[in-house]
Structure 1
Amino acid sequence: MMIDPIIQSYDKRDTIIFALGLGYGADPLNEGELPFVYEKDLRCLPAYANILCHPGFWAQDPAFGIDWVKILHAEQDLVMHSPLPAVGAVRGEYRVAGIEDKGEGRGALLHQVKQLYDEADDTHLATVRSTLFLRGNGGEGGFGDSMPVAAPVPDRAPDRVVEIATLPRQALIYRLSGDWNPLHADPAIARKAGFDRPILHGLCTKGLANRAILSAYCDNDVTRFKSMFVRFSKPVMPGETIRIEFFEEGEGQLRFRAIAVERDIVVLDRCSATVA
């Protein structure tokens, strides 16, 4: 299955709204975060590549036979080939790389790949690979490629810890950047999916980890951020504090996990990142 290429233009307002959706600007005196929320010397976060040229909620199309209410984001891999421009136009080229059928009643994993290009000069900006867990499907057959199984994080104390508090309205801000799945806004839809309230977007949680990596290991220099993989192990509830635990493994190589502090539960697991 192919998805038609999508071209998206974004301006300084869009770039800033995305950063606000990740909680940037909570401390108005933090000058290290100012370039992400202030148009002077504006920087675009690498995590924005995850949702730029979003194909829309195509899984709602009955032709695909997907129980869309029960979809959960399972994994996301981001490789940056060149920094995102602060403002501009980008092109997303998509393909569904494969489906892993877990069997009837056990669900299926759908792997989708996006290549992101600068529309101005065709610079290859990023490769994004997403894995969706189709909880309401399974037993219908599979095809194509799958992602390699990620290794557990080291069994030792972390080398560095970063905590980021989220807002109860965090999902409502984050969705303004283009992920309109009603699971993150409508309590009735959330209940149908088995949650007692709307949950935070998985990519928002990943964006929080991106924010932590930039501040802790890149001095907020986006050119030093190279890649990032996460596995979404549990949903995050807006308003929770997220603790990101980093394990340093050689030059520029990081492993990490994220924990929802209030519930003491791992929400991102088996994660990795590369920085310069």
Structure 2
Amino acid sequence: MPFDPQNLLNYDILEVRQDYGPRETAFYALSIGLGRDPMDRRQLRYAGGAAQVTPFPTLPLVLAHPGFWLADPRTGVDPLKVVHGEQGLTLHAPLKLAGTVVGKTRVTGLVDKGEGRGALLYSEKTLHDAADGTLLATTRNTTFLRGCGGFGGSGVAEKPTHRLPETAPDFTVDTPTRPEQALWYRWNGDDNPLHLDPQVAARSGFERPILHGLCSLGVTAHALLAVLCDYDETRFRGLDARFTAPVLPGETLRTEIWKDGSFRTRVVERDVVAIGNGRCDFD
């Protein structure tokens, strides 16, 4: 199906209902690198090494995930030309230790970047507790659609980006990723073959499968939780960030953090910024 911006704006993404408990909670934490230090009890309580498994603050990013819905031919989008551009998260209420959640994702806007420059697709997921209807979290996603620009605009303004301080960061945290980390992370609900299949990665212009943006963001969130919240998840309120370069599984991520919650994350081996213009909301 050819690209039709109005069709994409009206595309109905199915609601997702998901049961979760200690297994799903611990797996997510392990998939973003928690538990690397088996002697750090602060990490173990998120990763299943304690009597009670505590949900990691960014777990709502993957709960009731709609999957790679843009691969549906009815969207008119070429899935090989889809790039995760930005991600936001606002936490409204704490997750229970176990329960059922309902996620509803919807398209909220489309920005025409011009012929040959692609388009920005904005979407939002609301996550509710299935038992009592409590709004738990809102996630915001910007997807860059290569080759879809030049349709004349949609009347939606492009979102502003957070400006980082011009001073040197106050804290720096280095975290190595694992070569097989994308293969673990996919089981959180994101099975985009770009992260799994070398042939698909090559057709998309990458030398090998790249790490999920949300996995890199989870690694970054771990650094933010440790530095800004002293591993107290009740102080973590949300974040927003822009993905600026791919990460290859096995590379080391260096998260640079300012006291006001600003952050960015570099790939140490290539000295490139992978996550930029970041802002963490915390108490």
Scaled by the length of structure 2, what TM-score is found?
0.92
Structure 2: where are the runs of 5+ without partners?
Answer: 1-9
Root-mean-square deviation over aligned CA pairs: 1.3
How much has 1:5 moved relative to structure 2? Answer: 2.0
Q: Which amino acid aligns with 1:232?
A: F
Residues 215-249 of structure 1: CA deviation (Å, up to 9, x unaligned): 11212121110010010000111111111111123
Q: Is the 8 A contact 1:96 1:112 kept in 2?
A: yes
How much has 1:164 moved relative to structure 2? Answer: 0.8
Quote the residue 1:114 is aligned against: 125
Over 3 Å counting, the alpha-carbon distance change for 1:143 and 1:156 in structure 2 is same
1:164-243 superposed matches below 5 A: 164-243=175-254
Q: Distance in 2 between matches of 1:86 and 1:210?
A: 20
Give the stretch that moved more between structures: 48-57 or 189-198. Answer: 48-57
Scaled by the length of structure 1, what TM-score is found?
0.95
The answer to whether the aligner puts 1:275 opposite 2:255 as a matched pair is: no
Q: Distance in 1 between matches of 2:69 and 2:219?
A: 26
User: In percent, how many aligned pairs have the same letter?
Assistant: 46
Count of aligned pairs = 272
Q: Is the 8 A contact 1:111 1:146 kept in 2?
A: no
Q: Is the 8 A contact 1:97 1:112 kept in 2?
A: yes
How much has 1:136 moved relative to structure 2? Answer: 2.8
The answer to whether the aligner puts 1:245 opposite 2:256 as a matched pair is: yes
Residues 187-228 of structure 1: CA deviation (Å, up to 9, x unaligned): 000000100000000001111111111111212121110010
Q: Distance in 2 between matches of 1:122 and 1:136?
A: 39
Quote the residue 1:163 is aligned against: 174
How much has 1:95 moved relative to structure 2? Answer: 1.4
1:131-170 superposed matches below 5 A: 131-143=142-154, 145-146=156-157, 148-170=159-181
Q: Is the 8 A contact 1:71 1:136 kept in 2?
A: no
Q: Is the 8 A contact 1:257 1:269 kept in 2?
A: yes
How much has 1:144 moved relative to structure 2? Answer: 5.9
Alignment partner for residue 13 of structure 1, among 23, 30, 36? 23
Q: Is the 8 A contact 2:101 2:128 kept in 1?
A: yes
Residues 86-113 of structure 1: CA deviation (Å, up to 9, x unaligned): 2211111221001001122211100001
What secondary structure does 1:105 align onto?
coil
Q: Distance in 2 between matches of 1:10 and 1:173?
A: 17
Q: Distance in 1 between matches of 2:194 and 2:109?
A: 25
Over 3 Å counting, the alpha-carbon distance change for 1:248 and 1:172 in structure 2 is same
Structure 1: where are the runs of 5+ without partners?
Answer: none
How much has 1:145 moved relative to structure 2? Answer: 4.1
Alignment partner for residue 25 of structure 1, among 20, 35, 46? 35
